[in-house]
Chains A and B, each alone.
Chain A
Amino acid sequence: MSEIKKFMYLNRRAPYGTIYAWESLEVVLIGAAFDQEVSLMFVDDGVYQLTKGQDTAGIEMKNFSATYRTLGDYGVRHMYVDKASLEARGLTQDDLVQVAWEDWETEEEVENIVEVVEADKGAELLSESDVVFSF
């Protein structure tokens, strides 16, 4: 691959009610093979994808929430969460999963790549992305 591009996956749907969240996760995992700079952003109902303690036994659907915690191992470097979207839903960062990241070569470690950001930061991040995938 000649040039590293900035990929942004923009997630705006709640999990389980529609297939969007699951499909986005699938594409992120597939895209991990391409060695790009990958970030995820969670806006609107997309913030619900990251809630801790999801237990889908009662609705007989696959619980894919544990996969988010592994994204650091798939080359995802940043996961941004829109602050206003959290607040409108009565949520705080404490309600969200933590995702660790480690660079295997430099051994640089980040305990949690999930970061709550203001809208102006979100705008900047989208603007500077080379490709934005919307889900």
Chain B
Amino acid sequence: MSDLYTVNKSPFETNSLASCLKFATAGAAILLLEDGVYAALKGTAVEESVKAAMADKKVYALGHDIKARGFDESRVIDGVELVDYAGFVDLAEANDKVQAWL
């Protein structure tokens, strides 16, 4: 039994991601979308916190949002899985509930 958390804000502009990671339970799925996808990129000031979360949680990012912002898969942290909109639906279906960190 696990939840899907979504984060759609840049980790540099709000603490939505930080709070999500703080409260997310082990086994949770975290989906980064819209400006939230900046957290999925390598070399940023929040890279370590994302990697730490991946020890017991699965992190996903919407590929379309990453591409829109000028980045490709090679810039994404290893282990973060890119999904499309259908993948988003699959995640919502596979988890008990969806909680948005706005």
Q: Are A59 and B42 in contact (CB under 8 A)?
A: no
Q: Are B64 and A58 in contact (CB under 8 A)?
A: yes
Query: Assuming the A-B contacts A17-B34, A17-B35, are A88 and B44 also in contact, with contact meaning beta carbons closer than 8 angstroms in the complex?
Result: yes
With CB as the reference atom, state the residue of chain B lying closest to A50: B70
Note all chain A residues with C-beta closer than 8 A to B70: 48, 51-55, 65, 95
Minimum-distance CB pairs A-B, first 8: A90-B43, A58-B64, A17-B35, A51-B70, A54-B70, A56-B68, A88-B45, A53-B70
A-B contact pairs, 9 of them (CB 8 A): A14-B10, A14-B38, A15-B69, A17-B8, A48-B10, A52-B70, A55-B70, A89-B38, A90-B42
How many A-B residue pairs lie within 8 Å, measured between CB atoms? 71
B41 in contact (CB, < 8 A)? yes
In the assembled complex, the Cα of A57 lies from the Cα of B84 at a distance in Å of 13
Note all chain A residues with C-beta closer than 8 A to B34: 16-17
Among residues 88 to 125 in chain A, which have CB atoms less than 8 Å away from a CB atom of chain B?
88-91, 95
Q: Are B68 and A59 in contact (CB under 8 A)?
A: yes
In the complex, given contacts A14-B13, A15-B69, A51-B71, what are 8 additional A-B residue pairs having Cβ atoms less than 8 angstroms apart?
A: A14-B10, A18-B35, A48-B70, A51-B69, A51-B70, A58-B64, A58-B67, A63-B68
Interface size of B by CB at 8 A reads 24
A37 in contact (CB, < 8 A)? no
In the assembled complex, the Cα of A54 lies from the Cα of B37 at a distance in Å of 14
Note all chain A residues with C-beta closer than 8 A to B69: 14-16, 48, 51, 54
Which residues of A approach B to under 8 Å, CB–CB?
A: 13-18, 44-45, 48, 51-56, 58-59, 61, 63, 65, 88-91, 95
Q: Are B68 and A90 in contact (CB under 8 A)?
A: no
Q: Are B13 and A89 in contact (CB under 8 A)?
A: no
With CB as the reference atom, state the residue of chain B lying closest to A92: B43
Note all chain B residues with C-beta closer than 8 A to A52: 70
Q: Are B45 and A89 in contact (CB under 8 A)?
A: yes
In the assembled complex, the Cα of A59 lies from the Cα of B12 at a distance in Å of 22
Within the complex, the shortest CB–CB distance from B68 to chain A, in Å, comes to 4
In the assembled complex, the Cα of A14 lies from the Cα of B33 at a distance in Å of 13
